[in-house]
Protein backbone atom coordinates (compact mmCIF):
# COMPACT_ATOMS: atom_id res chain seq x y z
CA UNK A 1 0.00 0.00 0.00
CA UNK A 2 2.82 2.42 0.86
CA UNK A 3 4.45 1.92 -2.52
CA UNK A 4 1.15 2.47 -4.26
CA UNK A 5 0.52 5.69 -2.35
CA UNK A 6 4.06 6.94 -3.10
CA UNK A 7 3.36 6.37 -6.79
CA UNK A 8 0.07 8.19 -6.41
CA UNK A 9 1.79 11.13 -4.71
CA UNK A 10 4.31 11.33 -7.57
CA UNK A 11 1.54 11.21 -10.15
CA UNK A 12 -0.33 13.91 -8.21
CA UNK A 13 2.68 16.25 -8.35
CA UNK A 14 2.99 15.71 -12.11
CA UNK A 15 -0.73 16.22 -12.63
CA UNK A 16 -0.77 19.41 -10.58
CA UNK A 17 2.12 20.83 -12.61
CA UNK A 18 0.24 19.95 -15.78
CA UNK A 19 -2.98 21.56 -14.59
CA UNK A 20 -1.14 24.68 -13.52
CA UNK A 21 -0.88 25.68 -17.16
CA UNK A 22 -4.59 25.13 -17.86
CA UNK A 23 -6.88 28.15 -18.18
CA UNK A 24 -8.83 28.65 -14.95
CA UNK A 25 -11.84 29.75 -16.97
CA UNK A 26 -12.04 26.25 -18.43
CA UNK A 27 -11.39 24.32 -15.22
CA UNK A 28 -14.08 23.80 -12.54
CA UNK A 29 -12.39 24.71 -9.25
CA UNK A 30 -15.08 25.16 -6.62
CA UNK A 31 -13.95 22.38 -4.29
CA UNK A 32 -11.45 24.82 -2.79
CA UNK A 33 -14.14 27.41 -2.07
CA UNK A 34 -15.39 25.81 1.16
CA UNK A 35 -18.90 25.12 -0.19
CA UNK A 36 -20.32 21.82 -1.36
CA UNK A 37 -21.87 21.75 -4.81
CA UNK A 38 -23.81 18.48 -4.35
CA UNK A 39 -26.37 18.20 -1.55
CA UNK A 40 -29.93 17.03 -1.07
CA UNK A 41 -31.65 14.38 -3.18
CA UNK A 42 -30.65 13.59 -6.78
CA UNK A 43 -32.93 10.90 -8.27
CA UNK A 44 -31.33 8.48 -10.71
CA UNK A 45 -33.85 8.52 -13.56
CA UNK A 46 -35.00 5.35 -15.31
CA UNK A 47 -34.98 5.32 -19.11
CA UNK A 48 -38.51 4.56 -20.34
CA UNK A 49 -39.14 2.57 -23.50
CA UNK A 50 -42.19 1.86 -25.59
CA UNK A 51 -43.25 -1.76 -25.92
CA UNK A 52 -41.07 -2.08 -29.05
CA UNK A 53 -38.06 -0.90 -26.95
CA UNK A 54 -37.84 2.49 -28.71
CA UNK A 55 -37.06 5.43 -26.42
CA UNK A 56 -40.07 7.05 -24.75
CA UNK A 57 -38.74 10.60 -24.70
CA UNK A 58 -42.11 12.05 -23.70
CA UNK A 59 -42.24 9.84 -20.60
CA UNK A 60 -38.61 10.64 -19.86
CA UNK A 61 -39.22 14.39 -20.00
CA UNK A 62 -42.32 13.97 -17.83
CA UNK A 63 -40.25 12.10 -15.22
CA UNK A 64 -37.63 14.86 -15.16
CA UNK A 65 -40.28 17.56 -14.76
CA UNK A 66 -41.97 15.56 -11.99
CA UNK A 67 -38.77 15.25 -9.95
CA UNK A 68 -38.15 18.96 -10.46
CA UNK A 69 -41.63 19.71 -9.14
CA UNK A 70 -40.93 17.45 -6.15
CA UNK A 71 -38.06 19.78 -5.26
CA UNK A 72 -35.16 17.48 -6.09
CA UNK A 73 -31.75 19.13 -5.93
CA UNK A 74 -30.80 17.58 -9.27
CA UNK A 75 -31.27 14.44 -11.34
CA UNK A 76 -28.93 11.87 -12.84
CA UNK A 77 -29.51 10.21 -16.21
CA UNK A 78 -27.83 7.39 -18.15
CA UNK A 79 -26.82 5.57 -14.98
CA UNK A 80 -27.14 1.84 -14.27
CA UNK A 81 -30.84 2.32 -13.51
CA UNK A 82 -31.09 4.16 -16.82
CA UNK A 83 -29.95 0.95 -18.57
CA UNK A 84 -26.94 2.82 -19.92
CA UNK A 85 -25.27 -0.44 -20.98
CA UNK A 86 -28.15 -1.02 -23.40
CA UNK A 87 -28.14 2.45 -24.98
CA UNK A 88 -26.49 3.58 -28.19
CA UNK A 89 -24.45 6.79 -28.16
CA UNK A 90 -27.13 8.44 -30.30
CA UNK A 91 -29.78 7.48 -27.74
CA UNK A 92 -27.62 8.83 -24.92
CA UNK A 93 -27.44 12.15 -26.72
CA UNK A 94 -31.22 12.23 -27.15
CA UNK A 95 -31.74 11.49 -23.47
CA UNK A 96 -29.30 14.14 -22.26
CA UNK A 97 -30.76 16.76 -24.58
CA UNK A 98 -34.29 15.88 -23.44
CA UNK A 99 -33.33 15.93 -19.76
CA UNK A 100 -31.59 19.29 -19.95
CA UNK A 101 -34.57 20.76 -21.80
CA UNK A 102 -37.10 19.44 -19.27
CA UNK A 103 -35.09 20.23 -16.15
CA UNK A 104 -35.24 24.01 -16.26
CA UNK A 105 -32.92 25.27 -13.53
CA UNK A 106 -32.53 21.81 -11.98
CA UNK A 107 -29.00 20.48 -12.72
CA UNK A 108 -28.59 17.29 -14.72
CA UNK A 109 -25.76 14.84 -14.02
CA UNK A 110 -24.94 12.32 -16.76
CA UNK A 111 -23.45 8.86 -16.31
CA UNK A 112 -20.54 8.55 -18.74
CA UNK A 113 -18.66 5.48 -17.47
CA UNK A 114 -17.20 3.17 -20.08
CA UNK A 115 -14.68 0.33 -20.10
CA UNK A 116 -12.33 2.53 -22.14
CA UNK A 117 -10.85 5.75 -20.77
CA UNK A 118 -10.99 7.46 -24.15
CA UNK A 119 -14.66 6.53 -24.58
CA UNK A 120 -15.46 7.82 -21.08
CA UNK A 121 -13.83 11.15 -21.91
CA UNK A 122 -15.70 11.38 -25.22
CA UNK A 123 -19.04 10.70 -23.49
CA UNK A 124 -18.21 13.36 -20.89
CA UNK A 125 -17.44 15.85 -23.65
CA UNK A 126 -20.75 15.02 -25.31
CA UNK A 127 -22.61 15.62 -22.02
CA UNK A 128 -20.85 18.96 -21.67
CA UNK A 129 -21.73 19.99 -25.21
CA UNK A 130 -25.39 19.15 -24.58
CA UNK A 131 -25.63 21.36 -21.50
CA UNK A 132 -25.24 18.89 -18.62
CA UNK A 133 -24.28 20.20 -15.19
CA UNK A 134 -21.94 17.33 -14.24
CA UNK A 135 -20.87 13.79 -15.08
CA UNK A 136 -20.84 10.58 -13.03
CA UNK A 137 -17.80 8.34 -13.50
CA UNK A 138 -16.82 4.94 -12.13
CA UNK A 139 -13.89 2.72 -13.10
CA UNK A 140 -14.50 -0.71 -14.59
CA UNK A 141 -13.06 -4.08 -13.71
CA UNK A 142 -9.99 -5.17 -15.64
CA UNK A 143 -8.33 -8.58 -15.96
CA UNK A 144 -5.50 -7.25 -13.80
CA UNK A 145 -5.64 -5.34 -10.48
CA UNK A 146 -5.46 -1.59 -11.00
CA UNK A 147 -3.11 0.39 -8.78
CA UNK A 148 -4.15 3.53 -6.93
CA UNK A 149 -2.08 5.55 -9.40
CA UNK A 150 -3.93 4.05 -12.37
CA UNK A 151 -7.31 4.77 -10.81
CA UNK A 152 -6.22 8.33 -10.04
CA UNK A 153 -5.10 8.78 -13.64
CA UNK A 154 -8.47 7.55 -14.93
CA UNK A 155 -10.34 10.34 -13.15
CA UNK A 156 -7.60 12.82 -14.05
CA UNK A 157 -8.10 11.98 -17.73
CA UNK A 158 -11.81 12.81 -17.45
CA UNK A 159 -10.94 16.10 -15.75
CA UNK A 160 -8.46 16.92 -18.50
CA UNK A 161 -11.05 16.25 -21.21
CA UNK A 162 -14.13 17.83 -19.66
CA UNK A 163 -14.76 21.06 -17.75
CA UNK A 164 -17.77 19.73 -15.82
CA UNK A 165 -17.83 18.70 -12.15
CA UNK A 166 -17.30 14.96 -11.64
CA UNK A 167 -19.27 12.65 -9.38
CA UNK A 168 -17.02 9.73 -8.45
CA UNK A 169 -19.14 6.59 -8.13
CA UNK A 170 -17.77 4.06 -5.65
CA UNK A 171 -19.77 0.86 -6.27
CA UNK A 172 -17.44 -2.16 -6.01
CA UNK A 173 -20.32 -4.67 -6.11
CA UNK A 174 -20.94 -3.81 -9.77
CA UNK A 175 -17.46 -2.71 -10.86
CA UNK A 176 -15.20 -5.10 -8.97
CA UNK A 177 -12.98 -2.09 -8.19
CA UNK A 178 -12.29 -1.34 -4.54
CA UNK A 179 -11.13 2.18 -3.64
CA UNK A 180 -10.03 2.88 -0.08
CA UNK A 181 -10.93 6.04 1.84
CA UNK A 182 -7.39 7.39 1.57
CA UNK A 183 -7.37 7.07 -2.23
CA UNK A 184 -10.79 8.73 -2.54
CA UNK A 185 -9.67 11.65 -0.38
CA UNK A 186 -6.50 12.08 -2.44
CA UNK A 187 -8.48 12.08 -5.68
CA UNK A 188 -10.88 14.71 -4.32
CA UNK A 189 -8.07 16.78 -2.82
CA UNK A 190 -5.94 16.94 -5.96
CA UNK A 191 -8.46 16.80 -8.82
CA UNK A 192 -10.47 19.98 -8.61
CA UNK A 193 -13.32 18.70 -10.78
CA UNK A 194 -14.15 15.79 -8.49
CA UNK A 195 -16.85 17.45 -6.40
CA UNK A 196 -18.79 14.49 -5.04
CA UNK A 197 -18.47 10.83 -4.06
CA UNK A 198 -21.51 8.69 -4.80
CA UNK A 199 -20.86 6.18 -2.06
CA UNK A 200 -22.20 2.68 -2.64
CA UNK A 201 -19.47 0.57 -1.04
CA UNK A 202 -21.14 -1.71 1.49
CA UNK A 203 -21.22 -1.19 4.43
CA UNK A 204 -21.73 2.50 3.74
CA UNK A 205 -21.80 3.98 7.29
CA UNK A 206 -18.22 2.88 8.19
CA UNK A 207 -16.97 4.08 4.80
CA UNK A 208 -18.56 7.50 5.39
CA UNK A 209 -16.94 7.66 8.82
CA UNK A 210 -13.56 6.65 7.35
CA UNK A 211 -13.82 9.36 4.71
CA UNK A 212 -14.68 12.02 7.29
CA UNK A 213 -11.72 10.94 9.41
CA UNK A 214 -9.34 10.95 6.44
CA UNK A 215 -10.55 14.41 5.35
CA UNK A 216 -10.06 15.75 8.86
CA UNK A 217 -6.35 14.92 8.53
CA UNK A 218 -6.00 16.97 5.33
CA UNK A 219 -4.72 20.58 5.25
CA UNK A 220 -7.43 23.26 5.44
CA UNK A 221 -6.85 24.09 1.77
CA UNK A 222 -8.57 20.81 0.85
CA UNK A 223 -12.11 20.93 2.31
CA UNK A 224 -14.33 17.88 2.15
CA UNK A 225 -16.26 17.25 -1.03
CA UNK A 226 -19.84 16.01 -0.96
CA UNK A 227 -20.91 12.47 -0.11
CA UNK A 228 -24.20 11.32 -1.59
CA UNK A 229 -25.20 7.73 -0.88
CA UNK A 230 -26.97 5.39 -3.27
CA UNK A 231 -28.01 1.71 -3.17
CA UNK A 232 -31.67 2.69 -3.27
CA UNK A 233 -31.19 4.40 0.13
CA UNK A 234 -31.29 0.93 1.65
CA UNK A 235 -29.07 2.10 4.53
CA UNK A 236 -30.30 5.70 4.49
CA UNK A 237 -31.09 6.03 8.19
CA UNK A 238 -27.62 4.87 9.13
CA UNK A 239 -25.95 6.95 6.43
CA UNK A 240 -27.40 10.23 7.72
CA UNK A 241 -26.04 9.38 11.18
CA UNK A 242 -22.54 9.54 9.72
CA UNK A 243 -23.14 12.86 7.98
CA UNK A 244 -23.94 12.05 4.35
CA UNK A 245 -24.87 15.16 2.36
CA UNK A 246 -27.91 13.50 0.80
CA UNK A 247 -28.84 10.80 -1.67
CA UNK A 248 -28.17 10.11 -5.33
CA UNK A 249 -30.24 7.03 -6.00
CA UNK A 250 -33.20 5.72 -7.93
CA UNK A 251 -35.83 5.14 -5.22
CA UNK A 252 -39.00 6.23 -7.01
CA UNK A 253 -40.34 8.21 -4.03
CA UNK A 254 -37.66 10.89 -3.68
CA UNK A 255 -40.02 12.82 -1.42
CA UNK A 256 -39.35 10.20 1.28
CA UNK A 257 -35.60 10.68 0.92
CA UNK A 258 -36.03 14.46 1.03
CA UNK A 259 -37.89 14.06 4.34
CA UNK A 260 -35.12 11.86 5.78
CA UNK A 261 -32.47 14.30 4.59
CA UNK A 262 -34.43 17.31 5.82
CA UNK A 263 -34.90 15.89 9.29
CA UNK A 264 -31.20 15.03 9.55
CA UNK A 265 -30.17 18.51 8.38
CA UNK A 266 -32.41 20.00 11.04
CA UNK A 267 -30.47 17.99 13.62
CA UNK A 268 -33.27 15.52 14.29
CA UNK A 269 -31.58 12.22 13.41
CA UNK A 270 -34.13 10.26 15.43
CA UNK A 271 -36.92 11.67 13.27
CA UNK A 272 -34.92 10.82 10.15
CA UNK A 273 -34.59 7.26 11.45
CA UNK A 274 -38.33 7.05 12.15
CA UNK A 275 -39.19 8.06 8.58
CA UNK A 276 -36.58 5.60 7.27
CA UNK A 277 -38.04 2.79 9.39
CA UNK A 278 -41.59 3.60 8.27
CA UNK A 279 -40.71 3.18 4.60
CA UNK A 280 -37.99 0.54 4.90
CA UNK A 281 -40.23 -2.32 3.62
CA UNK A 282 -40.87 -0.34 0.43
CA UNK A 283 -37.17 0.54 0.10
CA UNK A 284 -36.23 -3.13 0.51
CA UNK A 285 -38.85 -4.36 -1.95
CA UNK A 286 -37.88 -1.85 -4.61
CA UNK A 287 -34.18 -2.70 -4.26
CA UNK A 288 -34.55 -6.09 -5.97
CA UNK A 289 -32.13 -6.91 -8.82
CA UNK A 290 -33.05 -5.35 -12.14
CA UNK A 291 -35.09 -2.24 -12.90
CA UNK A 292 -38.51 -3.76 -13.60
CA UNK A 293 -39.88 -3.04 -10.11
CA UNK A 294 -38.80 0.58 -10.22
CA UNK A 295 -40.29 1.09 -13.66
CA UNK A 296 -43.55 -0.33 -12.36
CA UNK A 297 -43.53 2.36 -9.66
CA UNK A 298 -42.98 4.98 -12.38
CA UNK A 299 -46.00 3.56 -14.20
CA UNK A 300 -48.15 3.62 -11.05
CA UNK A 301 -47.10 7.23 -10.48
CA UNK A 302 -48.28 8.13 -13.98
CA UNK A 303 -44.83 9.06 -15.27
CA UNK A 304 -44.59 6.43 -18.01
CA UNK A 305 -47.13 4.32 -19.86
CA UNK A 306 -45.02 1.20 -20.28
CA UNK A 307 -42.61 -0.49 -17.85
CA UNK A 308 -40.67 -2.22 -20.61
CA UNK A 309 -37.09 -3.21 -19.74
CA UNK A 310 -34.72 -3.77 -22.64
CA UNK A 311 -33.79 -7.35 -23.41
CA UNK A 312 -32.23 -9.58 -22.29
CA UNK A 313 -33.29 -8.24 -18.87
CA UNK A 314 -36.56 -9.70 -17.52
CA UNK A 315 -39.79 -7.75 -17.24
CA UNK A 316 -41.55 -7.30 -13.91
CA UNK A 317 -43.57 -10.42 -13.06
CA UNK A 318 -47.27 -10.34 -12.25
CA UNK A 319 -46.45 -11.71 -8.78
CA UNK A 320 -43.92 -8.93 -8.11
CA UNK A 321 -46.26 -6.26 -9.47
CA UNK A 322 -49.06 -7.44 -7.17
CA UNK A 323 -46.72 -7.55 -4.16
CA UNK A 324 -45.49 -4.04 -4.97
CA UNK A 325 -49.05 -2.70 -5.13
CA UNK A 326 -49.81 -4.31 -1.77
CA UNK A 327 -46.72 -2.75 -0.17
CA UNK A 328 -47.54 0.69 -1.55
CA UNK A 329 -50.98 0.22 0.02
CA UNK A 330 -49.39 -0.52 3.41
CA UNK A 331 -46.70 2.18 3.20
CA UNK A 332 -48.74 5.04 1.76
CA UNK A 333 -52.48 4.50 1.37
CA UNK A 334 -53.05 3.08 4.86
CA UNK A 335 -51.33 5.92 6.79
CA UNK A 336 -52.33 8.60 4.24
CA UNK A 337 -55.83 7.79 2.90
CA UNK A 338 -56.63 9.44 -0.40
CA UNK A 339 -53.01 10.23 -1.29
CA UNK A 340 -52.46 10.76 -5.02
CA UNK A 341 -49.25 9.07 -6.15
CA UNK A 342 -49.32 10.93 -9.46
CA UNK A 343 -48.72 14.24 -7.66
CA UNK A 344 -45.55 15.33 -5.83
CA UNK A 345 -45.85 14.27 -2.19
CA UNK A 346 -43.32 16.80 -0.95
CA UNK A 347 -45.71 18.88 1.22
CA UNK A 348 -46.92 15.71 2.97
CA UNK A 349 -43.41 14.50 3.74
CA UNK A 350 -42.16 17.93 4.74
CA UNK A 351 -44.79 17.87 7.48
CA UNK A 352 -43.75 14.33 8.36
CA UNK A 353 -40.10 15.38 8.73
CA UNK A 354 -41.08 18.14 11.19
CA UNK A 355 -43.60 16.17 13.25
pLDDT tens-place string over residues 282-299? 999 999 989 999 999 999
In a domain, 132, yes or no: yes
Domain carrying residue 9: 2-255
Residue 21 lies in a domain: yes
Q: Is residue 106 part of a domain?
A: yes
Residue 292 CA: distances (Å) to CA of 41, 46, 125, 224, 341:
22, 10, 30, 36, 18
Mean pLDDT of the chain: 89
Strand-by-strand arrangement of the 108-111 sheet: 40-43, 246-249, 226-229, 194-199, 166-170, 134-137, 108-111, 75-77
- The reply to whether 19 falls in a domain is yes
Q: What is the pLDDT of residues 159-179, one digit of tens each?
A: 999 999 999 999 998 888 999
Say what the alpha-carbon torsion angle 330, 350, 69, 298 is, to the nearest 10 degrees.
-20
Q: What is the pTM of this model?
A: 0.90
Residue 224 is assigned to a structural domain of this protein: yes
User: Quick check: is 189 in a domain?
Assistant: yes
Among candidate residues 79, 71, 152, 163, the one with its CA nearest the CA of residue 353: 71
Q: How many domains does the chain have?
A: 1
What CATH number does the domain containing 125 carry?
3.20.20.70
Taking the CB of residue 221, how many other CB atoms lie within 10 A of it? 7
Domain-located, residue 219: yes
- What is the model's pLDDT at position 13? 44
Q: Is residue 332 in some structural domain?
A: no
Amino acid sequence: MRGSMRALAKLTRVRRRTLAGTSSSHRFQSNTSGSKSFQGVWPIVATPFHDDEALDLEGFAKSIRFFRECGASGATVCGVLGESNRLTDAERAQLVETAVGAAGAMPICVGVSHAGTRATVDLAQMAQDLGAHSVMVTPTKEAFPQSDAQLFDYFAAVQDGCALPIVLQDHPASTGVFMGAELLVQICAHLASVQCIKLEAVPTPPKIAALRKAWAAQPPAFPECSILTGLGALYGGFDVEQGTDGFMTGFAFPEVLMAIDGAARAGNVERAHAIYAQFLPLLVFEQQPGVGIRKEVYRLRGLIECGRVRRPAPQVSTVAAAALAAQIERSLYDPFPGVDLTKPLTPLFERLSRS
